[in-house]
């Protein structure tokens, strides 16, 4: 399979995302002004500071030409993973529910976090055991997931909460400790922690690879 990793001005984690994806399939960088997704089977919107986080995180990147193609790709069931700033962009684009607000403590937080897999109904978690734990780094200032209570109830009832922070492993203030959510179809996943930084035991954990392996199962 082939992954496409989108690069916006200000993106900084695209190389790790490409290297992580390349452990599972082919992976190439997609420039944000290019509407052509080059026949990729899955799209990763990586972390960083697209457009300098101006106005609101993710608010400007969603108007980049590539995002029209990504939205059309997702609407047809194509798997899309938004990591950190990518999660923020997908929320701003209306491709995922909710929004990301500044961490409760207003600080940049960087640490290894433990996530619990809540649902394996998404393309990106189907290879994970429900209840299993993933050790993955997180690093962000604007990671407080928020959605109104009615939306949260629906997300939980429908199995669209994919990942949760275990205990208080990350004090960003996310409602109901939500770390990752999917769209209704389960092909689009957004999460704040960085699976692409956890693909080799040499750097502490290879748990992040499970998300990339999951999507390989999904497109097989």
Partner 1 sequence: MRARVLIRPKAGILDPQGQTVERALPALGFQGVSNVHVGRLVELDVEDPSRLAEMCEQLLANPLIEDYEIVTAL
How far does Cα 139 stand from its chain's mean position?
Answer: 13
Q: Which of 2, 173, 213, 219 binds partner 1 (CB under 8 A)?
A: 173
Which residue's CB is nearer to partner 1, number 148 or number 204? 148
CB of 53 to partner 1, least distance (A): 13
157 neighbors 167 (Cβ within 8 angstroms): no
Based on CB atoms, which residue is closest to partner 1, 63 or 130? 63
Q: Binding-site residue total for partner 1 (CB under 8 A)?
A: 18
Buried b (16+ CB within 10 A) or exposed e, 127-163: bbeeeeebbbbbbbbbbbbebeeeebeebeeeebbbb
Instruction: Tell me which of 13, 14, 92, 116 binds partner 1, using CB under 8 A.
Output: 92
Q: How far is the CB of 122 from partner 1 (least distance, A)?
A: 22
Contacts with partner 1, 8-47, as mask; x by CB under 8 A? ----------------------------------------
In this chain, which of 4, 82, 86, 98 binds partner 1, going by CB under 8 A? Answer: 98
Angle at 40 between CA 36 and CA 45, to 5 degrees: 80
Q: What is the DSSP string of 169-187?
A: SS-S--GGGEEEEE-TTS-
Q: Is 196 a catalytic residue?
A: yes
Residue 101, interface with partner 1 (CB under 8 A)? yes
In whole angstroms, give the CA distance from residue 172 to residue 155.
20
- Interacting positions 51-80 with partner 1 (CB under 8 A): 55-56, 59, 63
Active-site residue identified among 84, 91, 140, 160: 84
Rounded to the nearest whole angstrom, what is the least distance from the CB of residue 60 to partner 1 in the complex?
A: 8
CA distance readout (Å), 98 to 38, 90, 103, 139, 154: 30, 10, 15, 19, 12
Stretch that binds partner 1, among 29-37, 64-72, 119-127, 141-149 (CB under 8 A): 141-149
Rg (CA), the chain: 15
Does 140 qualify as catalytic in the annotation? Answer: no
SS3 at position 192: coil
The number of angstroms, rounded, from the C-alpha of 220 to the middle of its chain's C-alpha atoms is 21
Nearer to partner 1, 4 or 58 (CB): 58
Start-to-end CA distance of the chain, whole Å, equals: 8
Helix (H, G, I), strand (E, B) or coil at 119: coil
Catalytic residue among 32, 140, 194, 197: 194
| 49 is a site residue for partner 1 (CB under 8 A) | no
Please identify every residue annotated as catalytic.
84, 194, 196
């Amino acid at each position: 399979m082939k992954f496409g990793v989108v690069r916006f001005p200000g993106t900084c984690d695209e190389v790790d995302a490409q290297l992580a994806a390349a452990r599972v399939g082919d992976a190439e960088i997609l420039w944000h002004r290019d509407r052509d997704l080059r026949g990729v089977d899955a799209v990763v919107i990586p972390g960083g500071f697209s457009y300098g986080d101006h106005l609101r995180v993710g608010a400007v990147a969603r108007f980049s030409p590539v995002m029209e193609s990504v939205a059309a790709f997702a609407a047809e069931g194509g798997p899309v993973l938004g990591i950190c700033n990518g999660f923020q962009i997908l929320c701003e684009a209306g491709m995922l529910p909710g929004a990301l607000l500044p961490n409760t403590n207003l600080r940049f937080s960087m640490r290894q976090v433990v996530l619990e897999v809540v649902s394996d109904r998404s393309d990106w978690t189907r290879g994970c055991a429900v209840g299993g734990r993933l050790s993955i780094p997180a690093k962000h200032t604007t990671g407080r997931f928020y959605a109104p209570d009615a939306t949260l109830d629906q997300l939980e009832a429908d199995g669209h909460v994919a990942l949760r922070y275990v205990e208080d492993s990350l004090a960003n203030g996310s409602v109901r400790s939500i770390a990752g959510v999917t769209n209704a179809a389960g092909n689009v996943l957004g999460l704040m922690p960085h699976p692409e930084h956890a693909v080799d035991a040499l750097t502490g954990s290879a748990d992040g690879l499970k998300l990339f392996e999951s999507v390989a199962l999904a497109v097989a």
